[in-house]
Structures are given as structure tokens and as C-alpha cells.
Amino acid sequence: MSRFRAGATLLVRFVWQVLVAGATTAWIIARPGLRASPGLVRMPFADLSPTGAALLASLITLTPGTTAVDINMDERRLLLHLLDCRDPERTLARIHREFERYLTVLFPGGSR
């Protein structure tokens, strides 16, 4: 995949995820009886450069309902706060699928 295509696809997917996550977050907050189940999770990430890891954390934080708390480049892990931590595996899989795979094209790390 070309860098241009990866960047364009990432932009479109990010905008879509902001809209979907915004609606989901509003539903969790506004719906009576449904209680958020916040929590912290660690998410391993692919071999990204420090810039790529920072951009991944930024995209996650800009998406409603998730916040990157810490980036550990040595272990290649992010510490994330999730508004709804009932199904963290699903959330992490979505982050990998929607953001990370395109960032590896744009900001590859040097394998150690």
C-alpha cells in the first residue's frame, strides 16, 4: 500500500470513528439505566517510530470514549483509559484495524 493511500484511508477512517464513537459515547452517557464501566487497559502496538506511536495515541485520545494515558516505547504498549471497559478486546481490535495498520505504513519503526 502506498503512503498516500495509507494516509488518505487513515484520515477517512479517523473521521468515521470520531462520529461513531461520539454517538456511542453520547448514548452511554444519556441513556438512563446504562452505566459506564470505565477502566484502564494496556494495548500492545506494532513496530512504529516514536512519531507513529505519538500519532496513534493522539488519534485514540481524539476519539470520544478513549484516552491514551501513557506510551511505553520500550515495551511498545499504550496505557488507555476506556469509558466503557466491558469489552476491551473489541475496542483494541478496532484500534488496530482502523488506525494502527495504516500508521505502520506511514511511520514504520526499526525492528529491534
| pLDDT (tens digit per residue) in 47-97 | 999 999 999 999 999 999 999 999 999 999 999 999 989 899 999 999 999
Q: Report the pLDDT value the prediction gives residue 112, as an integer from 0 to 100.
A: 47
Q: Report the pLDDT value the prediction gives residue 36, as an integer from 0 to 100.
A: 79
* Host domain of residue 7: 3-106
98 part of a folded domain = yes
Q: How far is CA 93 from CA 4, 45, 82, 83, 89, in A?
A: 24, 11, 13, 16, 6
Domain count of the chain? 1
- pTM of the predicted structure, to 2 decimals: 0.90
Per 3-state DSSP, the chain is made up of helix, strand and coil in percentages (nearest 5) of 55, 20, 30
Over the stretch 17-43, which tens digit does the pLDDT of each residue have?
999 999 988 988 888 777 778 999 999
111 part of a folded domain = no
Helix axes 3-30, 50-62, angle to 10 degrees: 30
Q: What is the CATH number of the domain that holds 26?
A: 3.30.70
Q: Report the pLDDT value the prediction gives residue 111, as an integer from 0 to 100.
A: 59
112 part of a folded domain = no
CB 86 within 8 A of CB 37: yes
